[in-house]
Structure 1
């Protein structure tokens, strides 16, 4: 996958907009969090100005990914659907100062650049959308196919230890 770079300040000044999609498998940090590295992430990036005149990016990220349920340890589909408003500052120090002065929880202030990585931004937003502890709303019933033939109880993994002790 080729990285998409923009001049973030010029993008905002001109009020440009871009859309696209990436394969989930193209995001190594996201894949590390998933049960199955399949699917597509769609994104839209729109430049503009904050009401106080600061450059602002609005990023929307949507798609479906397969997470591992922490309760039943089976994969399930999780829908990503986020929109973030990012106010741009010249550097990290200015971003911290601007964030403190805006005092608005709905905004995030980041350092912009002339070589701003859209690909990284989309992956970051997808990662931030993932739940801390992924799980089904209601876990599925254990499958009848998972039980041994004849309905007998599966041997305990500790049974071998008991025999070994003798």
Structure 2
């Protein structure tokens, strides 16, 4: 069975000890340190700053956190890089087994509290904060297209209109007689 990847000691904390002490920890992570973010399309230049405020709730370690940063993704409109700004907060409670009825409005996270990987938690929250479909603002995206791309797009549209006109003469309408058939019954 393969071992989990080695994680530097400064990214692993004992959340139970931190919760009892009421600690606050701040870390900065680059794209190279966040493999799941890279798998989701995060490119070089992406970074996340996270602040973790530990406390105890109902005898369990809880974390209130803030994320700021920039994730460089591919715009799904123009297929060029787009910077997505992250500014998010989260509240999680660390549990041994998943339950849906955690009190206090905390999102349960199943993890061994004595070995909490801060990079993993920041990456998890960043993935949840990302947009489903990353895109430039509409005016920015159009300005990003090169003049040649716009010209070729217009040519393709003209060709499509010509093809529609030619096909319009022989359009088949399969449900044209459906109303007559229903009336006969």
Aligned Cα RMSD in Å?
Answer: 2.8
Paired with 1:23 and 1:70, the residues of 2 have a C-alpha distance of: 23
Of 6, 18, 41, 2:48 maps to 41
Q: Are 2:89 and 1:86 aligned?
A: no
Paired with 1:127 and 1:78, the residues of 2 have a C-alpha distance of: 12
3-state secondary structure, aligned to 1:122: helix
CA, structure 1 residues 54+28, in 2 after alignment: closer, same or farther (shift >3 Å)?
closer
Paired with 1:153 and 1:46, the residues of 2 have a C-alpha distance of: 51
Partner of residue 66, structure 1 = 72
Equivalent runs, 1:14-163 vs 2, <5 Å: 14-34=21-41, 36-50=43-57, 52=58, 54-89=60-95, 91-92=96-97, 95-96=98-99, 99-102=100-103, 106-111=105-110, 112-138=112-138, 139-141=141-143, 142-144=145-147, 146=148
Contact 1:34 1:65 in 2 (8 A): no
Larger Rg: 2
Structure 1, unpaired ranges of 5+: 157-166
Greater relative contact order structure (CA < 8 Å, 6+ sep):
1
Note the C-alpha offset of 1:153. Answer: 8.9
Point out 4+ residue stretches in structure 1 off by more than 6 angstroms: 151-156
**What TM-score results when the alignment is normalised by the length of structure 1?**
0.73
The structure with the greater share of residues assigned to helix is 2
Partner of residue 8, structure 1 = 15
Paired with 2:89 and 2:102, the residues of 1 have a C-alpha distance of: 22
3-state secondary structure, aligned to 2:128: helix
Count of matched residue positions in the alignment of Structure 1 and Structure 2: 145
Contact 1:67 1:134 in 2 (8 A): yes
Cα deviations by residue, 1:62-121 (Å, 9 ceiling, x for unpaired): 1011111112222211001111111222x11xx40xx4152x6x5201234211111111
CA, structure 1 residues 117+137, in 2 after alignment: closer, same or farther (shift >3 Å)?
same
Paired with 1:5 and 1:135, the residues of 2 have a C-alpha distance of: 34
**What TM-score results when the alignment is normalised by the length of structure 2?**
0.67
Paired with 1:72 and 1:152, the residues of 2 have a C-alpha distance of: 14
